Structure 1
Amino acid sequence: MSEEIPPVIQALAEAVSAEFPGGLLATTSFRGNHRFHVCPKQSYAVLKYLQTRAGFAMLVELSAADYLQYPDKEDRYGIWYCLLDVDNGRRLIVKTTANDPDPKVDSVVDLWEGANWMEREVYDMYGIEFRHHPDLRRILLPDEFVGYPLRRDYPMRGKGERHNFPVLTRAEG
């Protein structure tokens, strides 16, 4: 279901492949969204290249997904970075992966400060660690929360932890 890749994205893919042999695993386009699938070990270097040398100055979104029960997925987690070249109006999604038992990728907070809370959210919900993050701790859930609720092996109804959450009234909030 992939569409034709525009020449400007194809040229960028060739430049990335030349700069990082084996770093770019695939280039796809679907519904106008262009994706680079990159090797986890080279994801930081590719993202830095895209920011500093290809004009993708803005990180619009950083998120993840758990592919535990997907039959066609070899890797447990997918992490994606939606980048924007503000000057030329180009968008690019960079996807990489992480695996159990210790899912980790490099932090990009030093490239885009806005990644700080996005990486913390992914850590909080999926347990994916971002190496070299300046303050990697929970951002949405209480510090004493055990587990990562967006993982597919986490019970849909939780583990009874809601009873321990503090109750705030409207007046207190």
Structure 2
Amino acid sequence: METLEQIRDRIAARFPGASVSIQLNPGAAAEHSLRIDAKHGREIALFLRDDAALQLDYCSNATGVDWLDKEVVDVKKTTVPDPAGGPAKVVEEKTKRTEPGYLEAVYHLYSMALKHGPVVIRLRTGNRSDDVKLPSLTPVWKSCDFQEREIFDLYGIVFEGHPDLRRLLMWDEFKDHPMRKDYVAPDDFEYEPTPHDAVLARAKAHYPPPAAQPQDGPSAASAKEGAKP
């Protein structure tokens, strides 16, 4: 199979306006990936599937990734001459900025016809709030259907062109996305009438205090008799 660099170069030649770059994986597996701009995502997916040398006809896995806002420190070094004629000094000026977060959909592709792979591709949203749309790759690989629905459900990526985009694990009225890194689980769950373990401990904070028991019956009368001098 071609190297990732060769695949990147052929994509760039085939789609001159597309942004395609290699994202390195520093882990032991060193499973590097191609980051593809969302605008050309489906066109490039079709190319990867139909190209004679690649024939990446099977998507084995699609998953989501949540990247939070990140604070970055930029360091600017300036050489300042010494007025006394001594050696110049290097002064560092540090400024902080925030890189906005984003969501990613990651696809692992194989060729069943040519018995090679994987080739990993990534599509990135504009942010984590109001620009979370990506092109669905289900029209290219049918195996993406349920997996993109799961990503939509748990991460909130909206896959445009998906044939049946709706929640897969959570119920329709659920308002959040449980796999996001800033997700806060509720103290209780409406579908769990008998909470237990950690959920029970959180839910107890919202339970009403126990009602006072009326002091009636023989036991109450006995207590009153015992209280007489």
Shift of 1:64: 1.0
Is 1:138 paired with 2:167?
A: yes
> How many pairs align?
160
Shift of 1:154: 1.8
| RMSD of aligned Cα (Å) | 2.2
1:80 to 92, 106, 128: 106
SS in 2 for 1:33: coil
SS in 1 for 2:61: strand
Is 1:97 paired with 2:116?
A: no
Asked if the contact 2:153/2:177 (under 8 Å) is kept, the reply is yes
Letter in 1 for 2:117: R
Aligned partner of 1:68 in structure 2 is 68
**What are the Cα deviations for residues 90-143 of structure 1, in whole angstroms up to 9, with x where unaligned?**
211101201231301111111111111001000000111100111111100111
SS in 2 for 1:10: helix
Alignment of 1:16-95 (within 5 A): 16-30=11-25, 31-53=29-51, 54-71=54-71, 74-86=100-112, 87-95=114-122
**Structure having the higher Rg:** 2
Shift of 1:161: 5.1
> Once structures 1 and 2 are overlaid, which stretch shifts more, 25-34 or 80-89?
25-34
SS in 2 for 1:43: helix
Letter in 1 for 2:60: V
Distance verdict in 2 for CA 1:36–1:62, change over 3 Å: same
**What are the Cα deviations for residues 15-70 of structure 1, in whole angstroms up to 9, with x where unaligned?**
10101124243124543423111111111111111011131011011111110144
Asked if the contact 2:70/2:101 (under 8 Å) is kept, the reply is no
Shift of 1:150: 1.4
Sequence identity (%): 24
Alpha-carbon separation, structure 2, partners of 1:145 and 1:161: 13
TM-score, length of structure 2 as denominator length? 0.63
Aligned partner of 1:121 in structure 2 is 150
Structure 2: 5+ residue runs without aligned partners? Answer: 73-98, 195-229
Alpha-carbon separation, structure 1, partners of 2:2 and 2:141: 27
> Once structures 1 and 2 are overlaid, which stretch shifts more, 19-28 or 136-145?
19-28
Alpha-carbon separation, structure 2, partners of 1:138 and 1:154: 17
Structure 1: 5+ residue runs without aligned partners? Answer: 1-5, 169-173
Alpha-carbon separation, structure 1, partners of 2:147 and 2:118: 18
Alpha-carbon separation, structure 2, partners of 1:81 and 1:71: 28
TM-score, length of structure 1 as denominator length? 0.81
Alpha-carbon separation, structure 1, partners of 2:39 and 2:101: 14
SS in 1 for 2:182: coil
